Structure 1
Amino acid sequence: MMKNSSKLLFLFTLITGTLMTISANSWLGAWMGLEINLLSFIPLMNNMNNLKSSEASLKYFLTQAMASSILLFAVILFMMKSNMIFQNEININNYYKMIILSSLLLKSGTAPFHFWFPEVMEGLTWNNCLILMTWQKFAPLMLMYYLMIYKMIIFIIMITVSVGSLGGLNQTSLRKIFAFSSINHLGWMLSGMLINEYTWMIYFLFYSFISMNIIFILNILKIYHFNQLFSMFMSNKYLKILTSLNILSLGGLPPFLGFIPKWMIIQLLSIENQMMLILWIMLMTLITLFFYLRLCFSALMLNYPENNWILYNMMNNFNLKFYLILSFFSTMGLPIISIIYYMF
């Protein structure tokens, strides 16, 4: 088992690599930051209590190494462009952008380069899943914003939201369900990139907060599969209700917090006259609500005999108190932000 001091060191290196990438002045510097980020996350993935962690680490390393090789190859060719003669320089530049963008899509797990992402998620602990779903996507998404190829991005958005919606329908593992959910949310973030830089960042912050809220309680209760949710529903009715509402918030239902960034992107895309894109991502997101509702249907619609003893006392457990505070903002986010908006 890795010591806490070593974990903190690797986490610090992980954050440093991402900051190096987003603040780099050249593509070579951005590549170096991505490599530091990769090499610092691999040791965090190893867990002696999880037999699949070594397999997940190897899959993650091979995939990211291949993406980094493609990125470095395209950057070197792009830097050598001045010493070569091309008949159509504009088209050549677009080819380089497509290669670099494809490598970044592979790094972030965006469809159609998503095949490694659910398999790696299945072998990780919940804490590492949260890092992979949120922080590890920030640097590639930031670099993608610098390489916007409009037609290609729209095509990628439609594929991503479709794969994220349809891929999670037949899953029983919660980690794979949240992996395909993350792919679907990546489509919404890419849609925000069509508008401006701040839109997708706001969506990313909201998504990270809601995901942290859900994974926080799943990590405490050590729940990894669909059938394990029944034990949680039978143990405490407060956990049953709060977890179900947080899952619905992740799906983007009003009046929960997850509806705000989707609402914002839909309004801004309508200003850009992207009605077909709006219709497609909304229809695909409705499919994601199906397996979100499947997770909380048994909690909201069926009665379970509650145990005489309470496994988790919310009045005395600090972790569950903290979860109660986070859940309040997650479930009541839209009314709170609306009140603040009209007050100021």
Structure 2
Amino acid sequence: MFKNSYKMLFLFSLMLGTLITISSTNWLSAWMGLEINLLSFIPLMNDNKNLMSTESSMKYFLVQAMASSILLFIVIIYMMNSNFYSNFMNKNIYLNLLIISTLMLKMGMAPFHFWFPNIIEGLNWINSLILLTWQKIAPLMLISFMNLNKIIIPMIIISMIMSAIGGLNQTSLRKIMAYSSINHLSWMCASMMLNESIWLNYFLFYSFLSLTLIYYFFINKLYYMNQLYSNYNYSMEMKLILFLNFLSLGGLPPFLGFYPKWMVIELMSMNQIFLISMMVMLTLLTLFFYIRMCYSSFLLNYYEIKWNNYINLNNKHYLYLFMSYISIFGLLLMNIFYFMF
């Protein structure tokens, strides 16, 4: 009971730090919120049943502390307003580039993603979900407050290239989710250049799709791709639903995951046609390793126990099926309701 109570306390502090950051009016209070968020998440990362969690928490602390130090250094320079730094600070492009790079390092976006897949590999699925979703809210919100212009375009392209290449040879489901997160972050940052609210809608859709997949992995204790191929616990229909959720996360129409990408494509096709063309082509590489997983699971020959196809599902799996149906048929239902009302 004591263990659960202190975890709830740290979870509350985690949310409080994020709320302080997104509601702050200056960089110093935003930095304080990021630090509260960091120091609250590290105790949640420790898991006595997972020996790699201690290593991951230490790496996470070192990377985040380095990013926080750089951000605090920039804030102190800005507050000093001395003649020595005045010429540097007047060039807003350098200041914006430093701050954006620091925030990208905090949320694990390429080309500052070197720590992200390795750290998420040592976490359980609950902490992985927090790292993939909630921990990105504060840096994304701070980036959305800034004047991005064309500074972030090279980083978006690099992020999509690294996420597509990095996910090709992965067998760990946690690393695949990490590289998928890097890919979706580039779409969110691209939407920030033209609209301040679409990235938030995109983030909500991405969080729901990630929650659906991670919930299935959590209740079945799946961590690697070979466990998907040899999972005898459920029928072929359950596997079909699982891989359709993967395709939805990749943004393949007509699934729900295509809707946020549809919004960004429609917005950017007016004045960013080259960038959106590059993003669509690079996203096809991300879809490739999702489709490869589906192909390997359904078309390769493997042994399956016949009588396990009739296992009774419990409430946890009914909740997963409900979220899966929204993920798979959500876009069709949205179109139906749109034409009806």
Normalising by the smaller structure, the TM-score range is over 0.9
Q: Does 1:224 align with 2:223?
A: yes
How far is 1:301 from its partner? 3.0
Match of 2:147 in 1: 148
AA partner of residue 30 (structure 1): A
Distance 1:312 1:175, change over 3 A: farther
Match of 1:206 in 2: 205
TM-score (norm 2): 0.95
Match of 2:163 in 1: 164
Q: Does 1:75 align with 2:75?
A: yes
CA distance in 1, matches of 2:168, 2:27: 38
AA partner of residue 267 (structure 1): E
CA distance in 2, matches of 1:297, 1:233: 18
Give the SS at the match of 2:24: coil
Contact 1:235 1:307 (8 Å CA) reproduced: no
Match of 2:98 in 1: 99
Distance 1:54 1:323, change over 3 A: same
Match of 1:184 in 2: 183
Give the SS at the match of 1:235: coil
- Backbone CA RMSD of aligned residues: 1.9
Match of 2:325 in 1: 328
AA partner of residue 282 (structure 1): V
Moved more, 249-258 or 236-245: 236-245
AA partner of residue 4 (structure 2): N
Q: How does 1:1-344 map to 2 (within 5 A)?
A: 3-81=3-81, 86-87=86-87, 90-91=90-91, 93-232=92-231, 235-271=234-270, 273-302=271-300, 304-310=302-308, 313-315=311-313, 317-344=314-341
Contact 2:77 2:85 (8 Å CA) reproduced: no
AA partner of residue 79 (structure 2): M
Contact 2:235 2:310 (8 Å CA) reproduced: yes
AA partner of residue 139 (structure 1): A
CA distance in 1, matches of 2:10, 2:87: 47
AA partner of residue 293 (structure 2): L
CA distance in 2, matches of 1:254, 1:290: 14
How far is 1:3 from its partner? 2.0
Distance 1:217 1:311, change over 3 A: farther
CA distance in 2, matches of 1:176, 1:291: 12
AA partner of residue 74 (structure 1): I
CA distance in 2, matches of 1:149, 1:314: 52
AA partner of residue 35 (structure 1): E
CA distance in 1, matches of 2:241, 2:293: 13
How far is 1:305 from its partner? 4.7
TM-score (norm 1): 0.94
Distance 1:194 1:233, change over 3 A: farther
Contact 2:111 2:158 (8 Å CA) reproduced: yes
1:81-120 C-alpha deviation (Å, 9 max, x unpaired): 26667357631x3322222211101001011100000000
Runs (4+) off by over 6 Å:
none
CA distance in 1, matches of 2:301, 2:259: 31
AA partner of residue 191 (structure 2): G
How far is 1:238 from its partner? 2.7
User: In the comparison of the two structures, how many residue pairs are matched?
Assistant: 341
CA distance in 1, matches of 2:291, 2:156: 24
Contact 2:160 2:182 (8 Å CA) reproduced: yes
1:48-92 C-alpha deviation (Å, 9 max, x unpaired): 11111011001100000000000011011111226667357631x
AA partner of residue 282 (structure 2): M
Q: Which runs of 5+ in 1 are unaligned?
A: none
1:183-224 C-alpha deviation (Å, 9 max, x unpaired): 111110111111211111111000000000000001111111
Query: How high is the sequence identity, in percent, across the aligned residues?
Result: 56
Q: Which runs of 5+ in 2 are unaligned?
A: none
AA partner of residue 67 (structure 2): A
Distance 1:263 1:233, change over 3 A: farther
